[in-house]
A = this chain, B = another copy of it.
Amino acid sequence: MIKMVIAAWESYFQRVNKLFENLSDEQLQKQVAPGRNTGVYLLGHLTAVTDGMLPLLGFGEKLYPELDKIFLESPDASGLKTPPVAELRSYWKAVNEKLSKNINAMNPDNWFTRHSAVSQEDFLKEPHRNKLNIIINRTNHQSWHYGQLLFLQPGAD
């Protein structure tokens, strides 16, 4: 069961990662659709969301908390200074490497313990708010934006 959930996460991570690798910096600067987020913003957004999974899952502190203000709390074109694309690409790589290493080392039982954003008290009432559920929800979030990022590539659906 755990394997299925992790495999789905891995599968979408690989797709998104391959897409980012295939897209040039120039392609990433473009909006995925008229008036919508740019590829760069979504790269930063997915990096910040993945980075946020580290403390939620008990894997340590965020590597790049400074991304939150730009890519989680503010919309695209907020006027905030964003890191260069090359730097964002390296952040994306680093957070996913750290996440993946910790996921693989995780004790199976630990997946069913509460994630750090839910209190002990609430967890007793809502035991599904566990660490594995974070993976399920973040996989869906990633595939949502994957569908949009595909539009930066000619011919993809």
Q: For the complex, give the distance between the alpha carbons of A4 and B5 in Å.
A: 11
Given contacts A1-B112, A4-B130, A145-B147, 17 further A-B contacts (CB under 8 A): A1-B132, A5-B136, A8-B133, A8-B136, A8-B137, A8-B140, A33-B33, A33-B34, A33-B151, A36-B151, A136-B136, A139-B140, A141-B143, A143-B147, A144-B147, A146-B147, A148-B151
**Residue A32 CB within 8 A of the other chain:** yes
Which residue on B lies nearest to A154, using beta carbons? B35
Within A23-57, which residues are at the interface with B (CB < 8 Å)?
32-34, 36-37
Interface size of A by CB at 8 A reads: 31
Q: How many subunits of this chain does the assembly comprise?
A: 2
Q: Is the CB of A4 within 8 A of B140?
A: no
Residue numbers of A with Cβ under 8 A of B are: 1, 3-5, 7-8, 12, 32-34, 36-37, 75, 112, 128, 130, 132-133, 136-137, 139-141, 143-148, 151, 157
Query: Which B residues are in CB contact (< 8 Å) with A148?
Result: 147-148, 151
Task: Give chain A's interface secondary structure class.
Answer: helix
Residue pair A37, B1 in contact (C-beta under 8 Å): no
Is A34 within 8 A of B37, CB to CB? no
A140 surroundings in chain B (CB, below 8 A): 8, 12, 139-140, 143
Report whether A132 and B33 are in contact in the complex, using a CB–CB cutoff of 8 Å.
Answer: no
